[in-house]
């Protein structure tokens, strides 16, 4: 398929579908548009894979940059004008100030008042393997979550008691976001990237505030001003870079910086880009916007704040990693990411709200990706890209599961999920596999943590943070899995009824999480190794190899020093999955003894926690996890973690200045 057609469909089709979803208010028609657009985006993702493999690793797509550049400039001004309108209307003057801090330099720069009219490269879109991986995440996971939303939002609005559906607006924003994300990761023009970056910021605000209550609007405004502060850093970096290089091409900027150009104002400019990435990916001390975003409907949490939008932040940091590799800036970026991984994992232990556990886990894993980008070695970059893939699939799946569970039991609290296996057996199976994919070998997330540890052996502080953070993740995932799988002694089950769109989305992401880990060897060899090799990184002594059904760390002379053979272990796990139900079915009912609960057990109690107390009163046994709030409580750690993270970032700018 022609690259121009694929490019057009990837960006303009979701935008067109957004308009159709808003204009055509019929639910059946909207669902048809969602499914049709999703299938087309799947096809686009496959088409780009074929083209990139055939082209040898890089697609360069030239367009009329002058005309498109002016269109983007106009849209950029309209975007800023709308954000100003939001700031004034909601009386959030910090939003107004931050918008003006972007708008004024933008007008001066784009209007040619600083350096003359900026030169637009004719090769406006460059797609390499890193871009391709992001396209696959956006164009496969994004549509699956959108399909899930067709069933979920109906039930969501029913619970809210809305008289008039907001779904047309909701799906319009979702598709605009997908269009902007595809454009963001494909463009080679850093000025255009900035525009699409800010589109995702606006989409985030609109979707977090979708329900319209005071809490959602408050949290949406927090997300807006934090991301706008990153936008100020982004436009400042663009102006600084252009003043030195006279180019807006990301490829040229990275190459010039690698070849002795990391001097003068450039370290500050690259530091500002990293700062923008920190805000978008919710690194400490900017994590509060993502935590507040959990009030949004579940598809928003899954799409924007787990699998795709926050990946824009880490994509920016990983994309420019070769430009600042082996510098003091890189060392501090690694510390920022490692500290976020540690802090996010620690606070997650104290959380009983399922969405907040997922939110802190997301923040932590994004920190690990940024840490690996800062380390900047072959092993570290490989780990960063692998984690981007595994985390997007598994965490998107987990968010959808929590949303599905919440609609069934009316709670996000982990403690209320006890006995879930008998109320929602399908969803229980899916969420447990999803959590195991974040926790145990040979699933990809654990492999990437091991690779990050291997890559950080020469940085004791970073190594310590990664090791402790990895240990903390075992605690909160194990607690959650344990309470979900705690079943009553009774043989009663409830029939689980799920909308077809919900069941199909969960099934697709479950298959994706399994396939990504089982196929880690070809995944690495086909998509990641060529990208790492193209970077011409300085470290020659260590690298990764995909062979024998897994990924292996290689030292001097290509001697294997460690690794994971994924496929054999998966075969063993699948065998156990078949054997365990077999032996459970062999268990006879008379061998199961009911627990003594200080009274007669209640017959119709599915969870097995109710008993008859004196005066024939029904009492409930309280069984809870340890949350260690005295040590890991949000209130105890957040202030100190934010202060320390802020100090690290100030040191970063002190160093580059």
**Measured between alpha carbons, how far is 552 from 546 in angstroms, rounded to an integer?**
6
Q: How far is CA 345 from the centre of its chain?
A: 16
- The answer to whether the predicted template modeling score (pTM) of the entire model surpasses 0.95 is no
Count CA atoms within 13 Å of residue 247 on its CB side. 16
Residues 6+ apart with CB under 8 A from 325: 258, 376, 537, 538
Q: Which residues, in sequence order, are bridge partners of residue 288?
A: none
Q: How far is CA 362 from CA 269, 293, 380, 587, in A?
A: 27, 12, 19, 39
- Exposed/middle/buried for residue 522 (C-beta within 10 Å: 0-12, 13-18, 19+): exposed
Q: In this model, does residue 286 exceed pLDDT 90? A: yes
Amino acid 84: pLDDT: 95
* pLDDT at residue 490, as a whole number: 62
* Confidence grade of residue 592 (pLDDT, cut at 50, 70, 90): low
Q: CA 619, CA 494: separation in Å to the nearest integer?
A: 22
Residue 560 · residue 551 · CB < 8 Å: no
Asked if residue 308 lies in contact with residue 181, where contact means CB atoms within 8 angstroms, the answer is yes
Interval 501-533: pLDDT, tens? 889 999 999 999 988 888 888 888 889 988 988
Count CB-CB contacts under 10 A for residue 242: 20
What's the pLDDT at 604?
67
Residue 236, pLDDT score: 94
How far apart (Å, rounded) are the C-alpha atoms in residues 515 and 610? 41
pLDDT at residue number 39: 94
Higher-pLDDT residue of 421 and 564 is 421
- The ranges assigned to domains in the chain are 1-158+166-324, 325-533+646-657
In this structure, are strands 560-565 and 600-601 parallel, antiparallel, or unpaired?
Answer: unpaired
C-alpha dihedral over 150, 156, 158, 161, to 10 degrees?
-130
Q: Is pLDDT of 168 > 60?
A: yes
Instruction: Give the contacts of 258 (CB within 8 A, at least 6 positions apart).
Output: 322, 323, 325, 536
pLDDT by residue (tens digit) across 106-148? 999 887 767 777 777 778 899 999 999 999 999 999 999 999 9
Strand ranges, E, within 33-84: 59-62
Question: Distance (Å, rounded) from C-alpha 368 to C-alpha 605?
Answer: 43
CB 209 within 8 A of CB 202: no
pLDDT in the model for residue 288: 92
Task: Look up residue 562 and give its DSSP letter.
Answer: E
Asked whether the CA dihedral 525, 530, 531, 536 is positive or negative, the reply is: positive
Residue predicted with more confidence, 378 or 603:
378
CA distance 95 to 205: 12
- The residues facing 189 across adjacent strands are 249
Q: Please report, for residues 424, 484, 491, the alpha-carbon distance to residue 487 in angstroms, rounded to integers and kept in the order given.
A: 12, 8, 10
């Amino acid at each position: 398929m022609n690259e121009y057609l694929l490019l057009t469909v990837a960006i303009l089709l979701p935008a067109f579908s957004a308009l159709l979803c808003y204009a055509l208010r019929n639910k059946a028609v909207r669902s048809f548009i969602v499914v049709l657009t999703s299938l087309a985006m799947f096809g686009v993702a496959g088409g780009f894979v074929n083209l990139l493999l055939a082209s040898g690793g890089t697609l360069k797509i030239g367009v009329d940059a002058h005309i498109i550049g002016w269109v983007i400039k106009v849209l950029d001004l309209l975007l800023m004008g709308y954000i100003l309108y939001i700031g004034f209307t909601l009386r959030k003057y910090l939003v107004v100030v931050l918008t003006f801090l972007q708008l004024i330099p933008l007008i001066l720069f784009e209007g040619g008042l600083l350096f003359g009219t900026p030169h637009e490269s004719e090769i406006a879109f460059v797609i390499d393997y890193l871009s391709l991986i992001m396209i696959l995440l956006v164009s496969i996971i994004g549509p699956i979550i959108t399909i899930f939303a067709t069933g979920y939002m109906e039930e969501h609005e029913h619970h809210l008691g809305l008289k008039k559906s907001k779904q047309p607006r909701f799906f319009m924003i979702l598709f605009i976001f997908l269009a902007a994300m595809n454009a963001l990761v494909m463009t080679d023009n850093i000025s255009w990237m900035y525009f699409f970056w800010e589109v995702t910021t606006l989409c985030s605000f609109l979707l977090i505030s979708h329900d319209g209550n005071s809490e959602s609007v408050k949290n949406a405004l927090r997300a807006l001003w934090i991301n706008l502060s990153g936008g100020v850093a982004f436009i400042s970096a663009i102006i600084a870079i252009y003043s030195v290089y006279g180019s807006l091409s990301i490829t040229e900027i990275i190459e010039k910086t690698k070849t002795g150009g990391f001097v003068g104002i450039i370290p500050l400019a690259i530091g500002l880009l990293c700062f923008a990435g920190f805000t978008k990916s919710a690194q400490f001390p900017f994590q509060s916007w993502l935590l507040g975003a959990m009030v949004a409907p579940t598809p928003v949490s899954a799409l924007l704040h787990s699998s795709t939008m926050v990946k824009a932040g880490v994509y920016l940091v990983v994309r420019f990693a070769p430009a600042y590799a082996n510098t003091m800036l890189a060392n501090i970026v690694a510390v920022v990411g490692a500290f976020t991984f540690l802090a996010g994992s620690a606070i997650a232990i104290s959380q009983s709200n399922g969405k907040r556990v997922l939110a802190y886990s997301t923040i932590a894993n994004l920190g690990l990706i940024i840490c690996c980008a800062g380390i900047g070695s072959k092993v570290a970059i490989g780990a960063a890209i692998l984690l981007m893939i595994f985390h997007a699939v598994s965490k998107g799946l987990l968010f959808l599961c929590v949303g599905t569970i919440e609609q069934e039991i009316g709670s996000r609290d982990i403690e209320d999920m006890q006995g879930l296996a008998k109320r929602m057996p399908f969803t229980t199976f899916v969420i447990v596999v999803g959590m195991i994919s974040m926790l145990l070998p040979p699933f990809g997330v654990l492999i990437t943590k091991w690779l990050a540890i291997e890559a950080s052996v020469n940085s004791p502080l970073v190594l310590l943070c990664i090791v402790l953070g990895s240990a903390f993740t075992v605690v909160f995932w194990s607690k959650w899995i344990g309470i979900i799988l705690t079943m009553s002694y009774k043989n009663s089950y409830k029939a689980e009824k799920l909308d077809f769109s919900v069941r199909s989305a969960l099934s697709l992401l479950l298959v994706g999480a399994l396939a990504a880990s089982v196929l880690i060897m070809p995944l690495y060899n086909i998509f990641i190794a060529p990208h790492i090799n193209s970077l011409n990184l300085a470290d020659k002594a260590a690298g990764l190899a995909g062979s024998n059904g897994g990924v292996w760390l290689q030292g001097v002379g290509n001697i294997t020093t460690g690794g994971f053979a994924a496929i054999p272990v998966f075969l063993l796990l699948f065998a156990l999955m078949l054997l365990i139900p077999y032996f459970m079915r062999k268990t006879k009912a008379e061998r199961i003894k009911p627990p003594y609960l200080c009274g007669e057990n209640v017959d119709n109690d599915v969870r097995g926690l109710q008993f008859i107390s004196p005066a024939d009163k029904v009492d409930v046994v309280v069984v809870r996890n340890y949350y260690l709030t005295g040590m890991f409580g949000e209130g105890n750690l957040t202030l100190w973690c934010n202060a320390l993270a802020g100090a690290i970032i100030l040191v970063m700018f002190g160093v580059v200045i």
